[in-house]
């Protein structure tokens, strides 16, 4: 079976180490994250640094997802966590990076400007290296759907990678919005990467009182006031910035599959919990997907046929 869309045929890592520093959105504490090149087949791995040179390794896989209440948190067997991984994971997916180590000296990925754009800039500054190993993909073979009350999410077959994300908030500042588009590195940077995380002032005040969202500010979040208007100076970056950020979150959460997917992801009134549940449901049904790679020669991946490889191998161990 051929493809009608371009695929990056070989795995990619960054060319050199690069660091970013900022504050955690919930603790408000300073944190530094350093990205390093990694060998083919490594995947994305967080190293949570501790005292006396200790380090806990946490793979960026949905099998390691713990809480999803306010963000997506990865947890190892010892209970060590790295939270708010969705924005950096979206940037990793949006850059086409397959293998990388992320060393972090705190419990949260820095919120930076509340988007993926600063991570993208850092990766581009470091540069990219094509590696001598074929890239693998998760190709959706049949629809896999979950529902949770009025919310739902599904994967379905599609010749490309596509997102159709719809939200519906009972406030005139947001209302019902939908973003639908094929997704590649160019579209991600232009249409998605600069969309900011958002919240309501009434909720932020409650979180502050509970000792959370201490790093949240108008510099990294869109905030809706009690009068149902955006209070940030300058207003919105896109007229539908809210649903674009929800799409950014979905891209980051689904990057925890362990490989990029070929298919269409749709959701209605989704969030981190629904994204993780939809991904788990997909990967638990081995008839719903297969692992493929391009059969083309170097530099000839556009339109090259896809062939199934290690069809019984779960993506969580790719």
Enzyme catalytic residues: 272
26 is in an annotated binding site: no
56 is in an annotated binding site: no
249 is in an annotated binding site: yes
Rounded to whole angstroms, the Cα distance separating 119 from 20 reads 8
Residues 151, 270 contacting (CB under 8 angstroms): yes
List binding-site positions for Zn(2+).
87, 245, 249
List binding-site positions.
87, 245, 249
């Amino acid at each position: 079976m051929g493809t009608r869309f371009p695929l990056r045929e070989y795995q990619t890592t960054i060319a050199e180490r690069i660091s970013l520093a900022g504050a955690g959105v919930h603790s408000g504490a300073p944190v530094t994250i350093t990205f390093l090149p990694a060998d083919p087949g490594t995947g994305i791995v967080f190293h949570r640094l501790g005292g006396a040179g200790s380090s806990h390794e946490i793979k960026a896989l949905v099998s390691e997802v713990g809480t999803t209440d306010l963000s997506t948190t990865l947890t190892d067997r010892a209970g060590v966590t790295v939270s708010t991984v969705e924005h950096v994971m979206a940037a990793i997916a949006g850059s086409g990076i397959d293998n990388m180590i992320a060393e972090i000296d705190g419990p949260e990925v820095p919120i930076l400007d509340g988007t993926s754009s600063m991570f993208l800039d850092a990766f581009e500054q470091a540069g990219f290296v094509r590696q001598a190993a074929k890239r693998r993909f998760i190709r959706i073979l049949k629809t896999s759907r979950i529902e949770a009350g009025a919310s739902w999410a599904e994967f379905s077959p599609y010749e490309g990678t596509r997102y159709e994300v719809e939200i519906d908030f009972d406030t005139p500042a947001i209302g019902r919005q939908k973003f639908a588009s094929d997704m590649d590195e160019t579209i991600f940077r232009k249409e998605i990467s600069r969309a900011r995380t958002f919240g309501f002032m009434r909720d932020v005040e409650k979180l502050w009182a509970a000792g959370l969202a201490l790093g949240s500010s108008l510099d990294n979040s869109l905030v809706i006031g009690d009068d149902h208007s955006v209070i940030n100076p300058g207003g919105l970056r896109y007229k539908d910035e809210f649903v674009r950020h929800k799409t950014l979150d979905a891209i980051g959460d689904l990057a925890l599959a362990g490989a990029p997917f070929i298919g269409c992801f749709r959701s209605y009134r989704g969030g981190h919990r629904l994204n993780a549940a939809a991904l788990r449901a997909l990967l638990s049904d081995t008839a719903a997907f297969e692992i493929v790679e391009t059969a083309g020669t170097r530099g000839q991946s556009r339109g090259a046929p896809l062939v199934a490889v290690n069809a019984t191998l779960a993506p969580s161990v790719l």
